[in-house]
Structure 1
Amino acid sequence: MTQPPPHLPPAEPAGPPVPNGLAARLSPKVLLIDPVRMLPSLLLPLVGLLFVGGFSARSYAWAAFGVGATVVFAVIRWATFSYQILGDRLEIKRSLISRSVRTIPLERIRGVDVSTPPMHRLLGLAVLKIDTGASGGDEEEGELDGVTLHEAERLKSVLLRRARAAHPEQVSVPAGPSERPIFKVPRTWLLYGPLSGAYLLTPFALAGGAIGLAFQWGDNLGFGRDAAWTVGEWLWDHPFVLLAFALVLVLAMPVAGGVMYAIFNWDFTLKSRDGYLVAERGLINRRSVSLESRRVRGYEIVDGLAERWAGVVRAWAIVTGLGDSQTRGQLLPDVPRAVAVHVTGEAIGPYRADLRRHPPVARNRRLFRAVVPWLVVAAVAGVAAVLTASPLWWILAALALLLAGVGVPIGLDRYSSLGHGYDGVRLAVRSGSLRRSQAVVERRAVVGWRLRQTWFQRRAGVYTLTAGVGAGKGGYSAIDVSQEQATAFPAEVTPDWLTPFLNPPTP
């Protein structure tokens, strides 16, 4: 019997496991969660009811009726929901208003995610989500929201085992222990979080949400929207107060961003288990994501400008048919580059070749795009300043010249980030500056090549070469390669495809 992870509270016995083929229901404890989750949608109508009807017995009665209705609705929904494993498929049935049966063939299951939001964790429950590789949204997935931890682990084991059994010829289970830890991110490395920039806008998001609530609920709370507009006009008339408020938000960015990053990536652990790569993370909502190893085609290493200065990167898996790959496919949060290269090499496979530089004209193109537009803006602003004698135009011209100067190192960095290579097993392409990305893809994943040339590229004599891949983003590009590289690289990676065209048979 599979035990719940040590970071979760022990699950209460839920009786004997439901045999395969028999219908099962969610845990009755979910009835304590569903009404609470419905309260936000009822909060605004209830507040409006109390303000319109006053704090009278009739208002209280209607409010109690609304809350009671949510409880009854939750009970009916729980009683009309069931799931069962029938042979080679999983069936999820709903019959609240109209009968609905969702059938998921076990052979299509590509991963099973188990998460424990705060209220679920308190009650020993979990959310089990089945990834079928569909890209049409959650309607194409299966979700069991409110099973016990014991049942979630049992179902996860059964579904993944049967999914592997559906393709025995493609699965090779390595000898040794069924679960092997690959890497656990030290907690001290959570301090790298603010460098990623993904969570830095948290203070502004919170401030924007508060302003939105003020305008939306202003009338219901009694101070009206006019009061909110008055506060906004007062702040506009007192720019120093507004500037101080913005400065507070900016100073709070690294702190709030670091806290949010730590909450989502707490105790990030990557392990190999029974032919799957399993990533576990999270402090409040603990999440476990399983990626079928035989569907992994490579990985992508990403770093931003600040991350590059600190020498840290993030990593994602490139997986066939994976929905929401930016969340489910994450292999590592911010870690030192050497660690990321070692871990991805151990988990998926190493890349053992240097990247080839692109022609010097690619550098000229990046410098032109990073510098010349700002020089044009500076020239226009300078002419306007001479004609109008307005100091604002001089300030704009100076700012544009400053940005043009900053564009020089940015353009050079963008050029130095370009590269592509092949080590005989995997190919790699890299590009970007503010967000630099290097994709490493197995040669067997390449399904085609695309050669593209814009009007400006034609004048410069360079191309964009895209390797079509049936995984991840669907294609990864080597930007601004020379004509020789554009023809030699595909011939090197997939010689069997191009040899008949390069050396046509003689009649």
Structure 2
Amino acid sequence: MHPLSPALHGAKSLVVVIAGLSWSTLSRVGFGWFAAMVVVLALGATVLSVISWYNTGYHVVGRELRVYEGLLWRRTRAIPLERLQAVEVVRPLLAQLTGLAELRLEVVGGGKTEAPLAYLSVADAAALRARLLALAGRAGQPGGAVAPAGAAGGPEAVPTGQEAARTAMPAGRPLHAVRNEDLLVSQLLTPQAFLLPFGVAFVVVQFLSEDSWSFIAVASTLTAMAGVVLQPVRRVLDDWNFRLARDESTLRVRNGLLETRAQTVPLHRVQTVRATWPLLWRMKGWLRLRLEVAGYSVGESDERNRPDRLLPVGDLPTAEMIVGEVLPGVALAALPLTPPPPRARWLHPLGRGALGAGLHERVVAVRSGLLTRQLTVVPYARIQSVRVVQGPVQRRLGLATVHVDTAGGAGAAAEDRDLAEAWALAAELTARTHTARRTA
């Protein structure tokens, strides 16, 4: 790893230490002892980072990446490159300031992002990324199909130096760039943003009330408010300067302000496309698009590591254009959706009209949600299984839910269909899935 890696890891540890020491600790021990505790813990974390850096390395052996780490207990992870799906170049804020980057590997069947190599220079990270993809047989097709021997971009075409640094950024045919102004407004139109004035008013009242005001009370309130607004702020930082491009076999995404990310999404591994209309966005006609992608770590606790962004915010024509690139011939506004039978009102007294399901020539579409509308589109060729499920109340009403399972995770569910319709829908989905897989 790069010699500056321990410094970056130590800085991250310092932030964790300060966050872990609560306001109550500061009030009990005083500022001097609090600062001393922070310094001692930060120095200890830095020393551990240096030791970890000295004992960490990687080695490419044939078609296998081996990562070595550990001091007392040595550990070696071997990652077969034929299972490599994509290698993402990620640059957190400190890495940007120091000219470094980290690599995160996505492996088919992995429970989380494998073997993050932090940190390398940008040129070295891009060169290693190109080398790993070339050895995996995907050079020139990051995350896509295997390239034939001797094809352009094969092992003999690995870029170096400044050329390698340029390859860290997505190329391809530009599809869409999200306006940062729209991104900011979209996050202001969230429940968290509407709760913020009430929190500010509460802090002001506490400050003006001499009897009840205290430093701990205000600090605790500010901490709670920070937790409320963290999600929209994180979305703005993550999706800043969102750019979407496409080449023959992949979508290429670049986004981020404090942490820039360059991701590739192989089109042949897209399992579902999900469009969401939040309640407050409807006044501006906005929606967002998300993907489910097979082979990526669906169990990843940090959703920022998942390559699921397709459109953070945009209008329907833009969404139609992007969906047409991912699923040719599919138009969101023209999908044939029918509601469940009237007796489903017993289960959805207010939201029956929001439910719907239908079969398109190439996909099955399911609509749900009352306050937040959601439309899920699943190509027939990506369906893994079809299930018909009945609960006790559904049995009394003669209803059933048809579940469509995919390799990407959640899939889709047509809720509360007539029982005979549910079985017919399941049979038709099974037949269309078999046909789609034979012709794919």
TM-score, structure 2 normalization: 0.75
CA 1:37–1:470 in 2, change beyond 3 Å: closer, same or farther?
Answer: closer
CA 1:427–1:497 in 2, change beyond 3 Å: closer, same or farther?
Answer: closer
Q: Which amino acid aligns with 1:464?
A: T
Give the distance between the partners of 1:164 and 1:480, measured in 2 at CA: 46
| Corresponding residue for residue 455 of structure 1 | 392
Give, in angstroms, the shift of residue 279 of structure 1: 1.6
CA deviations on 1:143-178 (whole Å, 9 max, x unpaired) are 0111111122222223334435499995589x9x97
Query: Match for 2:297 among 306, 323, 328?
Result: 323
Are the counterparts in 2 of residues 304 and 433 from structure 1 also a CA contact under 8 Å?
A: no
Superposed, which structure 2 residues align to 1:15-164 within 5 Å? 26-40=1-15, 68-134=43-109, 136-137=111-112, 141-164=114-137
CA deviations on 1:394-418 (whole Å, 9 max, x unpaired) are xxxxxxxxxxxxxxxxx1xx22221
Query: Match for 1:359 among 335, 341, 353?
Result: 341
Are the counterparts in 2 of residues 178 and 274 from structure 1 also a CA contact under 8 Å?
A: no
Are the counterparts in 1 of residues 171 and 252 from structure 2 also a CA contact under 8 Å?
A: no
| Corresponding residue for residue 340 of structure 1 | 319
TM-score, structure 1 normalization: 0.65
| Corresponding residue for residue 481 of structure 1 | 417
| Corresponding residue for residue 253 of structure 2 | 279
Are the counterparts in 2 of residues 298 and 441 from structure 1 also a CA contact under 8 Å?
A: yes
Secondary structure in 1 aligned to 2:339? coil
Give the distance between the partners of 2:210 and 2:250, measured in 1 at CA: 53
Are the counterparts in 2 of residues 451 and 463 from structure 1 also a CA contact under 8 Å?
A: yes
Q: What number of residue pairs does the alignment pair up?
A: 390
Query: Match for 1:193 among 162, 165, 186?
Result: 186
CA 1:41–1:172 in 2, change beyond 3 Å: closer, same or farther?
Answer: closer
Are the counterparts in 2 of residues 192 and 334 from structure 1 also a CA contact under 8 Å?
A: no
| Corresponding residue for residue 273 of structure 2 | 299
1:267 lines up with 2:241 in the alignment: yes
Larger Rg: 1
Give, in angstroms, the shift of residue 53 of structure 1: 11
Question: Unpaired runs of 5+ in structure 1?
Answer: 1-25, 211-227, 368-410, 500-507
Give the distance between the partners of 1:493 and 1:54, measured in 2 at CA: 66
More helix by share: 1
Give the distance between the partners of 2:244 and 2:185, measured in 1 at CA: 18
CA deviations on 1:285-344 (whole Å, 9 max, x unpaired) are 112222222211231111222223332111111211322575421111021122112212
CA deviations on 1:32-60 (whole Å, 9 max, x unpaired) are 32222222455578x989x879979xx99
Are the counterparts in 2 of residues 193 and 261 from structure 1 also a CA contact under 8 Å?
A: no
| Corresponding residue for residue 374 of structure 2 | 437
Give the distance between the partners of 1:271 and 1:424, measured in 2 at CA: 26
| Corresponding residue for residue 383 of structure 1 | none
* TM-align CA RMSD: 4.3
Q: Which amino acid aligns with 2:272?
A: G
Secondary structure in 1 aligned to 2:212? helix
Between the two proteins, what is the percent identity of the paired residues?
27
Are the counterparts in 2 of residues 89 and 103 from structure 1 also a CA contact under 8 Å?
A: yes
Secondary structure in 1 aligned to 2:4? helix
CA deviations on 1:463-498 (whole Å, 9 max, x unpaired) are 11111222231x311001113321222333332799
Q: Which amino acid aligns with 2:388?
A: L
